[in-house]
């Protein structure tokens, strides 16, 4: 991929439909009645602790990544690359961009959660220096199954 034609930019709500198309193409779960509804993402885009980026290549959104933080720890979420643009270094480039923005905010720990079936994401994050912690268990409390 010619990265000179690629732009990684802050997501705008006008990118929403293209983002959902990307998530569907990439096989990323989409919850339109919960956390992924347009109104919810609009509100999150206004949050100063959120870093929502999209990769644009020839006017098409081909990648997304969301970074958030609580002032102490940063999180990477919703990394998606369109299938024709995988294995070209774009995912790593997007991770680096979120890491850069989080460290500029003083965040010194960055984490991500990856579902056990997603081997390619696990390999990617290990490749870029993340350490798997098999002794940590993830718990959630959901007030709505769509979130």
Question: How far is it, in rounded angstroms, from Cα 109 to Cα 145?
Answer: 29
Question: How far is it, in rounded angstroms, from Cα 114 to Cα 95?
Answer: 14
Quickly state the pLDDT bin for 1 (edges 50, 70, 90). Answer: low
For helices 119-127 and 90-104, the axis angle rounded to 10 degrees is 60
Q: What are 75's strand-pairing partners?
A: 68, 111
pLDDT of residue 57: 96
* Structural domains of the chain ordered from first start: 3-127 (3.40.630.30)
As given in the structure block, the two tokens for residue 123 are: 């390999």
Give tens-digit pLDDT for 4-56.
889 999 999 999 999 999 999 999 988 999 889 999 999 999 999 999 999 99
- Does residue 77 register a pLDDT over 90? yes
pLDDT of residue 144: 83
pLDDT of residue 3: 76
List the single range of 1-5, 24-28, 99-103, 139-143 with lowest mean pLDDT: 1-5
Give tens-digit pLDDT for 3-18.
788 999 999 999 999 9
């Amino acid at each position: 991929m010619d990265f000179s034609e690629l732009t990684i930019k802050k997501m705008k709500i006008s990118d929403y439909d293209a983002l959902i198309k990307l998530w569907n193409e990439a096989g990323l779960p989409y919850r339109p009645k919960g956390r992924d509804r347009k109104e919810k993402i609009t509100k999150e885009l206004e949050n100063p602790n959120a870093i929502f980026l999209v990769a644009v290549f020839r006017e098409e959104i081909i990648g997304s990544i969301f970074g958030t933080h609580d002032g102490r720890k940063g999180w990477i979420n919703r990394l998606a690359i369109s299938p024709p643009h995988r294995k070209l270094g774009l995912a790593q480039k997007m991770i680096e961009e979120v890491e850069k923005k989080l460290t500029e905010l003083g965040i010194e720990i960055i984490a991500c959660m990856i579902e056990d079936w997603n081997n390619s994401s696990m390999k990617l994050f290990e490749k870029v220096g993340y350490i798997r912690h098999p002794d940590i268990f993830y718990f959630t409390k959901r007030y709505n199954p769509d979130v």
